[in-house]
Every structure is written in C-alpha cells, then in structure tokens.
Amino acid sequence: MEDRYKLGIEEIDNQHQKIFDLIDELCFIDDKSTKQIKKIIIELKKYSSYHFKTEEKYFTDIDFIEKDKHIHLHDMFIKTIEYYYESPELLNKKKLYTFLNSWIKNHILIEDKKYITKEYIK
C-alpha cells in the first residue's frame, strides 16, 4: 500500500492493507471462475464489515462529525458487493476489480482521511 493511503493509525492501516490484498487476489484467479470470484466477495464482505466496525467504534471515541454519513457509505459498499454477488453479468473479475480498487482508494483518500482531520472532530 502506498504511503498516501496511510492514516497513521496502525490497526486501521493494517486493515486497509489486508483489504488491498484481498482485492489483489482477484488478479490471480481464473477469469471465468465465478466460484472463485464469489469466494473473494464473501471474504471481502466479511473482512470489510469487520474493518468498518473498527472505524465506526473509533468515530464514537473521537466524536467524528460525519459519523452517520460515513456509516451510510460503508453500508452502501456492503450492499453493492452483495449486488455483484447476485448479478451474473457483474461477476466479471475485471469489472469487480475496477469497482473495488477505485472504491477503496477513493474512500480512504476522501472519506477516511476526514476522521484524522482536526476540522471533522468535535
């Protein structure tokens, strides 16, 4: 993971790294194996839910101003990957990889970075 994705909170940085690693697993599987794609989606859903809980607990501790909006973004992500799981036309590793990779990068750089920014903490 490039330095620009680091927030300086070890537990969270390690979890983000693990999410990047799970997404990268898509690069090593067979293009046509929906079974393998689905397996990665399940793992990713499990691990990102765990990561989101860590962040959301942290939001309460620090009194993060955009807590509710941020939780909503996490929920939407889970719903979107569930939708991928259920839609045969989206079970394409390239499409999935593009979506996941851009979502996680944008989410960290734009949204997660807010909770380490003074102006967003009460």
How far, in whole angstroms, is CA 10 from its chain's centroid? 17
The reply to whether 112 sits near Fe ion by the rule CB under 5 A is yes
Contact yes or no for 36/91 (Cβ under 8 A)? no
Q: Looking at beta carbons only, is 29 or 103 nearer to Fe ion?
A: 103
Q: Looking at beta carbons only, is 100 or 112 nearer to Fe ion?
A: 112
Query: Which of the residues 29 through 58 are near Fe ion (CB under 5 A)?
Result: 55
Helix (H) or strand (E) holding 52: helix 34-62
Q: How far is the CB of 26 from Fe ion (least distance, A)?
A: 19
Contact yes or no for 54/18 (Cβ under 8 A)? no
Q: Looking at beta carbons only, is 38 or 107 nearer to Fe ion?
A: 107
How many C-beta neighbours within 10 Å does residue 63 have? 10
Q: How far is the CB of 10 from Fe ion (least distance, A)?
A: 13
